[in-house]
Chains A and B, each alone.
Chain A
Amino acid sequence: MTKVPDSEQRVKFYQTGTFTVGNRLLDEAQRTVQASVERANSLDSGHRACQGCGEALGARYVVDAALRAADDQLIAANATGCLEVFTTPYPESAWRLPWIHSLFGNAPAVGAGIAAALRARGREDVRVIAQGGDGGTTDIGMGCLSGVFERNDDVLYVCYNNQAYMNTGVQRSSQTPPAARTATTTVAGSEPGNELNSGKSVPLIAMAHGIPYVATASVNDLHDLEYKVVKAMGFRGARYLEVFVPCPLGWGSRPADTIKVARLATQCGMFPLIEAEYGELTAVTRIRDRRPVEEYLKLQRRFAHVFAPENAHQLEALREIAERNIRRFNLLPNEEAAP
């Protein structure tokens, strides 16, 4: 059965800015981690992410929430990628928790190693998070990721999905949506942009491993995101959280629109927010104020060509993806989830 997350229900009467980061009308304990002056700022100022970077924001959201959930007893492993490069250029680190970067494709395994060491040393009070972008996670890191999943290592893996290899200059990944322009799927030829019918859903793959918890979240909905981080931290074993993080540079969107773009992605159905436990879908975050896919696409230059008359089929294909998501996960309000 689909259920509304507790975090939403609790604040129902507090209309004024119910979905904002904070809410002076709520008890301190019910406010978000990000609303607190005591938040860890695990990813601190002075990092070198681009203006309006969704990943920088998403990472701080997740790690701060995880730190609070773990009572500050947290270690992070990080894949190579933007998040690593913009946070730790010698001699300045932007991180405020024990953090290790090893390689592009091995963050899940490094996390597993940390967890194993903690267990061996009787320090299971210390929790482990491993994180990376979509390339590091779903492409080059897929083997290690699957290993962590099937062994049920006690690691929360967080994939910050910005749908391409941004650090290397916006090349296609397995998460690049159909028709999207990247440096390796240029707007040329009869099928401009990325191939239709390509890509994969790693949350569904994660679910197929039967791990304790899988969820998707987005930087546009902090309450939903923090709720999922806290929930994930409540489990032992392998957990997977995929966070939707727009990349202004790679997507050709305005830096100021990062959250708006993320919001529209969920509002149009392109990025479903789901939760699963032990391989079974347990909840979806229903779309609030559904918007047409076009509204989402129009904010991003990587999709500009799909509005050309000759590429109408591409636009249609993208619409179908959203429709399929909405159908498959029962994303519209007032509909019961499929049994």
Chain B
Amino acid sequence: MRSLALSPRDQDRQPAADGGVEVLFRSSYVQMVRLATFLVGRSEVAEELVQDAFVRVAPKLSYVEAPAAYLRVAVVNACRSWQRKQGRERSALSVLAGDRDQAVSDRPCELSDALARLRQRQREAIVLRYWEDLPEVEIAALLGCRPGTVKSLLSRGLAALREELGDDDA
């Protein structure tokens, strides 16, 4: 596994605010917003989280080996922090209750509702595996757990989704 960590010296370097940052932003923003939307359930929140994450990591992007992967880690962590602030159970409920009152043209609905009812780590594993198409070993590194744990999260998450959506529906 290639490390995404920065050396202390790298972290101290000044940001390179130039077109490269814009290129990375433009090539990854939509994908990151979609990922975050699946994780937090609300696209407007997702956009804020992704932008915040990008602003935080932009100064370091010049010096990390895989900027896109580094950005993804930052986005997932931001989503996790947001969920933590909301409270896990309350978060899921607010997603369901709040968004149903909103226009849904710009957000996932049915499946996202089911995803929102999953446990946070199950949801993360499901989205990273089946939306981001990441291998289990990479999901494990991103979530800070063992690959076996990812397998378990995926298995239980799928079972919960199947029950949630119904066999005929899923």
Q: Do A and B bind each other?
A: no
| Residues of B participating in the A interface, judged by any CB pair closer than 8 Å | none
| Residues of A participating in the B interface, judged by any CB pair closer than 8 Å | none
